[in-house]
Amino acid sequence: MISVEKALQIVLNSTQDFGVEEIPFFQSNGRILKESIVADRDFPPFNRVSMDGIAIDFQQFQNGQKEFFIEGIQAAGSEQRSLKNPKNCIEVMTGAVLPKNTSAVVRYEDLEINNGIATILIDEVKDFQNIHPQGKDEQKGAILIPKNIQISPAEIGVFATVGKSTVKVAKQPKVMIISTGDELVDVDGIPLAHQIRRSNVFTLVSLLENLKIPSSTNHISDDKEVLKTNIKKYLETFDVLLFSGAVSKGKFDFLPEVLEELGVQKLFHQVAQRPGKPFWFGQTETCSIFAFPGNPVSTFVNCLVYFYSWFYKFVGIKFEEKTAILAEDIYFKPDLTYFLQVKIHYRFGHLIATPINSNGSGDLSSLIKADGFIQLPNDKTEFKKGESYPIIIYK
């Protein structure tokens, strides 16, 4: 049995590079950017008026002039005009190009306009005021977005601004999610007394959906030959197989055996953690196999701890570790890393983690009551209120 740290290290070392694809920018929300986005021109691209009002030659105001004849209007989206007479002004709209021969904008609030004459009501006007100078935000050629970031609405706006109608993103791995166990019936079936419905595969599908990874699912009964035939096919077709169940020590838990018979290299089986201990992990040349224990909470936490980390490593994303503060003393004796289910509250900028009552790894509804797992290391048995530990927030 290996430690969580060691298991994670092995998982992260096994990531492969599945390459890059180019997609329409407006479909890229949540995907991983694989190219740097560069300013195609200065931002703003011209001296940009930032208030509605009049543009003047600042020198005239310096010389004491307060009344300006309005020569015309410079609208946003119109070609740059020129102030013909330096003693006049041009009305300007937010977003417009600053007219030639002008060097300050006085906003309507500080003006009175009568009969085509604008009178400045304030005593102080600054050179170049209310103008967003060309190139102030970014210069042409500057990197606006580095590659290897997760795309969010903010990035989508920048893609549009610089004319990136398609963007290069990490290809998503092809994933098959497989449930095993003869005790499982379909969601719309009526289980007999000794049966339960399939649920973990759907949880996994949704957890992957949150990473924008589409996945296929299947159920295989606890028959060694059927398992073997199907898995052989999947190993050839998919980049990743996720299993839920059939990795304990039970008589019908053929899975590790079947995988090894099919030439999958076992990298570890069993991790010193609770819940999720009987996790089996292996690989072939082309496929990574995550076989999670069948209990709902075990499958859930292992997907977040191992598969999510594997995926982010694989696409080149690094996240800052989040931590939270324990709201209660915790005593946990086993020599295992303890992923304790907690509810998170925000208090004066502190993340407070309050343990929820749970009946162990089979307790599906505990995942509803909690919104995260706080990770308590195996080298201690007492964890004090007020101490901070790594947190995985899933809601």
Site for a second copy contains 372 (CB under 8 A): no
C-alpha 217/C-alpha 204 separation (Å) is 10
Rounded to the nearest whole angstrom, what is the least distance from the CB of residue 224 to a second copy in the complex? 13
Q: Given the DSSP bridges, would you call strands 37-38 and 53-56 parallel, antiparallel or unpaired?
A: unpaired
**Cβ 42 vs Cβ 139: under 8 Å:** yes
Binding a second copy (rule: CB under 8 A), the pick from 170, 235, 351, 376 is 351
Q: Given the DSSP bridges, would you call strands 20-24 and 166-170 parallel, antiparallel or unpaired?
A: antiparallel
Rounded to the nearest whole angstrom, what is the least distance from the CB of residue 360 to a second copy in the complex? 7
- ω into 99 cis (within 30 of 0): no
Site for a second copy contains 333 (CB under 8 A): no
Q: Is 164 helix (H, G, I), strand (E, B) or coil?
A: coil
Contact string 147-166 vs a second copy (x = CB under 8 A): ---x-xxxxxxxxxxxxxx-
Rounded to the nearest whole angstrom, what is the least distance from the CB of residue 306 to a second copy in the complex? 15
Rounded to the nearest whole angstrom, what is the least distance from the CB of residue 13 to a second copy in the complex? 26
Alpha helices in the chain (DSSP H): 4-13, 58-62, 153-161, 200-209, 224-237, 255-261, 296-302, 308-315, 366-369
Residue 268, C-beta contacts closer than 8 angstroms, at least 6 positions apart: 2, 6, 7, 10, 279, 280, 281
Site for a second copy contains 141 (CB under 8 A): no
Task: Report the residue number, 39 or 241, with the smaller CB distance to a second copy.
Answer: 39
- First-to-last CA distance in the chain? 30
Task: Report the residue number, 18 or 202, with the smaller CB distance to a second copy.
Answer: 202
The strand ranges marked E within 75-183 are 89-92, 104-107, 111-114, 117-120, 131-132, 143-145, 166-170, 175-180
Contact string 195-224 vs a second copy (x = CB under 8 A): xxxxxx-xxxxxx-xx-----------x--
Rounded to the nearest whole angstrom, what is the least distance from the CB of residue 262 to a second copy in the complex? 23
Site for a second copy contains 318 (CB under 8 A): no
Sign of CA dihedral 42, 45, 46, 51: negative
Binding a second copy (rule: CB under 8 A), the pick from 65, 94, 129, 148 is 94
Task: Report the residue number, 281 or 389, with the smaller CB distance to a second copy.
Answer: 389
Segment interacting with a second copy, rule: CB under 8 A, options 64-72, 120-128, 284-292, 315-323: 315-323
Binding a second copy (rule: CB under 8 A), the pick from 345, 354, 355, 377 is 345
The count of chain residues that interact with a second copy, using the rule CB under 8 A, is 109
Q: Identity (one letter) of the amino acid at 147?
A: K
Contacting a second copy within 274-293 (CB under 8 A): none
Residue of 259, 25, 34 whose CA lies nearest to 157 = 25
Segment interacting with a second copy, rule: CB under 8 A, options 12-20, 56-64, 75-83, 283-291: 75-83
Rounded to the nearest whole angstrom, what is the least distance from the CB of residue 88 to a second copy in the complex? 17
CA angle 394, 305, 9 (to 5 degrees): 155
Contact string 225-264 vs a second copy (x = CB under 8 A): --------------------x--xxxxxx-----------
Contacting a second copy within 6-65 (CB under 8 A): 25-26, 29, 43-46, 48, 50, 52
Rounded to the nearest whole angstrom, what is the least distance from the CB of residue 62 to a second copy in the complex? 25
* Both tokens assigned to 204: 């996994």
Site for a second copy contains 384 (CB under 8 A): no
